[in-house]
Structure 1
Amino acid sequence: MISVKPKKNLGQHFLKDSAIASRIADTLDAFAPLPILEVGPGTGMLTQFLLSKGRNLTVVEIDRESIAYLKEYFPSLNGNILQQNFLTLDVAEYYDGPFCVIGNYPYNISTQIFFKVLENK
């Protein structure tokens, strides 16, 4: 069993409340059937609800421990896990049309993530 602890140097904070995660995932219903890009899935609390939407889901995670955890607990994600810093990701390499970006963003880079998303609008 893999255990993942939040890393302060990555600004990690793991969402633990499944009711909140479910509500966050439900916000994407208005944008169906667009593919979903989740930034910083951590231990997958939000991921599990996004997978239940039945849409194309790709996750971007920089932390190797989190990636190992996601691969073990969410095998359907294999092939859709990008081990990378979202801020350096060439989004156009993966999406040539509209897509949704979602995540329980690390506090220390939330503004940077917002501007990165606007760049790829």
Structure 2
Amino acid sequence: MTQPEATPATDPTATLPLYSPARVRELLTRHGLRPTKSLGQNFLIDGNILRAIAEAGGAARGVPVLEVGPGLGVLTREIASRGAQVTALEKDERLKPVLTETLAGQDVNVIWGDALEFDYAALPAGTRVIANLPYYITGVLLSRFMHAPNVLSATVLVQKEVAQRLAAHPGEDNYGFLSALAALHGTVRHVRDVPRGAFLPAPDVTSSVVRLDFDRSRPLPDPAFLKFVEAALHHRRKTLRNNLRLAGYAGEAVGAALEAAGLRADVRAEDVPLADLHNVAERLGVTGPGVIR
């Protein structure tokens, strides 16, 4: 005798938390889905991690929250259950029936489309990003959040090495353009590391939760200065002088700017504080006077 197909009402996994491995596997199987590696789909299956992300991200009653890549809605439900007003961006339309099921009764607005094409400037004031970001577009998305005036913070799951770069300071091994970009927009706090086993399927790398707070009291960095910093830090282990010469700046002018800024001719770019880089940029006519905090 053929057994009837399991439904949310009759399936024994229906009483399990949404983040449980058995529940996640059942949802995927019932809806005929497989995680897509090209979209960075690794679903969280650890309730402690979910609660830690929502807590660190500031999910609370009435707070507008943006989530990128809700997947099966596991983190989404945790955020929404705290009373936050959630907007979720999802590219994979195969997930429509799943999210209709898992987010039923929740205050969540799902927008179907590419996160790289979304207008982040249109988000409501006071928005906080809380998301398990697709690893392959992490850097681009973080830059979009930084430049969106109504986004106050971003609490995100990223590769551990990306988290280390975000939090690094001049003179540290992991310092680079991403570190400088984060520092120019605010502050970074490491929340916790997340083992591979907290995901289904398990990713190839360890992850970390980090929170970026954006200081909206200061103007956005001058785009010309950002381009200068990127050029200065483009080649690790090279001197600042050589990096700037490779970017097209005249060697004599660079040498004079370094000397006037009180920097050694052989100083490495990753060892130079942002205030000193800004000083050099001013002397090279890249940007006007300003204060870098």
The bucket for the TM-score relative to the shorter chain is: 0.7 to 0.9
Q: Is contact 1:14–1:43 with CA below 8 Å preserved after alignment? A: yes
Q: Take 2:105 and 2:59, find their aligned partners in 1: how far apart are those partners?
A: 24
Tell me if structure 2 keeps the 8 A contact 1:61–1:67. Answer: no
Hey, what does 1:64 align to over in structure 2? 93
Of the three residues 30, 43, 53, the one matched with 1:14 is 43
Distance 2:49 2:32 in 1: 22
Matches within 5 A, 1:72-83: 72-77=101-106, 80-83=109-112
Secondary structure of the 1:76 match is coil
Q: Which amino acid aligns with 2:103?
A: F
Identity of paired residues, percent?
A: 32
Counterparts of 1:87-98 in structure 2, within 5 Å, are 87-93=116-122, 95-98=123-126
Q: For the structure 1 residues 59 and 119, does the alpha-carbon distance in structure 2 shift closer, same or farther, using more than 3 Å as the test? A: same
Q: Map Cα deviations across residues 4-62 of structure 1 (whole Å, 9 max, x no partner).
A: 32101212211111210111011133876430001101011211110111121110000
Residue pair 1:71, 1:77 contacting (<8 A) in 2 also:
no
Q: Separation in 2 of the partners of 1:48 and 1:31?
A: 13
How much has 1:2 moved relative to structure 2?
A: 2.7
Q: Distance in 2 between matches of 1:31 and 1:51?
A: 8
* Aligned residue identity for 2:143: F
Q: Counterpart of 2:66 in 1: which secondary structure?
A: strand
Query: Is the Cα contact below 8 Å between 2:64 and 2:128 reproduced in 1?
Result: yes
Q: Find the partner of 1:99 among 112, 127, 135.
A: 127
CA contact (8 A) 2:86 2:108 kept: no
2:136 to 101, 108, 113: 108
Greater displacement, 75-84 / 97-106: 75-84
Q: Is the 8 A contact 1:31 1:100 kept in 2?
A: no
The alpha-carbon distance between structure 1 residues 24 and 87, as it changes in their structure 2 partners (threshold 3 A), is same
Relative to structure 1, the CA distance from residue 114 to residue 32 in structure 2 (aligned partners, 3 Å threshold; closer, same or farther) is: farther
Do the aligned residues in 2 keep the contact of 1:4 with 1:69 (CA within 8 Å)?
Answer: no
The structure in which a higher percent of residues are strand is: 2
* RCO higher in structure (CA 8 A, sep ≥6): 1
SS class of match (1:20): helix
TM (norm. structure 1) is 0.86
Count of residues paired in the alignment: 120
Q: Which residue of 1 aligns with 2:77?
A: 48
Alpha-carbon separation, structure 2, partners of 1:63 and 1:69: 11
The range that moved more, 18-27 or 77-86, is 77-86
Match of 2:114 among 85, 91, 111: 85
Which residue of structure 1 lines up, in the alignment, with residue 64 of structure 2?
35
Alignment of 1:117 onto 2:145:
yes
Tell me which moved more, 24-33 or 45-54. 24-33
TM-score by length of 2: 0.38
Please report how far the alpha carbon of residue 79 of structure 1 lies from its aligned counterpart in structure 2 after TM superposition.
6.7
- Farther-moved stretch of structure 1 (30-39 vs 62-71): 30-39
Contact in 1 for aligned 2:66/2:129 (Cα 8 Å): yes
The 1:48/1:86 distance shift into structure 2, 3 A limit, reads same
